Structure 1
């Protein structure tokens, strides 16, 4: 019986295309260690059982695939239109609240003469506007002039000292830092909502992409916060 450990995952990231596909195919009966599960969540990799995939593939028909592909556009006679409209409204309200927080953050950073931060938050605004239209780009962060791989390496270094799971900013770090901390939390909440509600509404690749982009946005905002804390001269 195979056992999947964190070190095995790290090796696969170096030697396979796992970093690009974000999907790890496991043999039936594979045991995943707790640290491996936690690491898979951190890097937003979804693991799937090969036997289950074969069974699902055998059961799905072309009509079912087409139905899933068009699920956001089509409704049946049992009231799916009402349910879909309610779901879309709830998603848009969450995005509007998050946009409001980002705009407040830009106003605050502008008042504090944090011109660079004001521009950096424009990236979040752009992403959220596309989320409202459920638009997904294959190389989205390149369009925002962010090197995703380089950023990932920088974020891994940040996590060594300022882990999102353990580190908490202090009130003495200032308004800008506390604003970014609140924004990080709001984006993680959006990620949780997307991961629990979009699975049956989007194609699998789009669903994974949406959750991954939410996670990346949260990490991006966390890094902005830590940069300000270090800039203020505080180290743990």
Structure 2
């Protein structure tokens, strides 16, 4: 049976009772145990552990790993700087690309075929944001779109920008205004990333466990699907 090309899973933090998820060589690779030591805050450590557990369980089913410790996921370089998740299975680069997002309530993981897709995911609390926040991080056109439902749409748009950045970035800094979504009632929404139109971008936005969750996909180098699809052919808002 052919493995699915895209898998998205969410797991609420309440699955694990407080402090029940312990770091151990039984399920974490040596590099992961070293990476965990970079985090001192207990809550951040638990979020990291929850993300690794969910991602490894998802990848194990796809990659045929017999032990979670056979899968290594690193998100820091030798200097401790953040990286897109680097996945190895039994010491070899995996065919699967991973993205993770953590919150105080849970973890969201998306896995895709590396040759077919780039992927980004984000979880955002639908909290009230100030007008200053919207003016600082959104373009004037985006702000006009937000005004119809500021709380809900701000969470949706912020989560989308985070997810698009994860799918597209090649080391450039996080600059929310450089990711511009344009909404026109007569056409599908369009997206530009640092001035470059994103063709073939697909995505969804939904509410999960009281949070806004966005997942986006961009065709990878091995994708043979028709080019030129609108950014929002599958963008659900």
For Structure 1 versus Structure 2, the TM-score category normalised by the shorter chain is under 0.3
* Bigger proportion of residues as strand: 2
TM-score (norm 1): 0.24
- Structure with higher Rg: it is 1
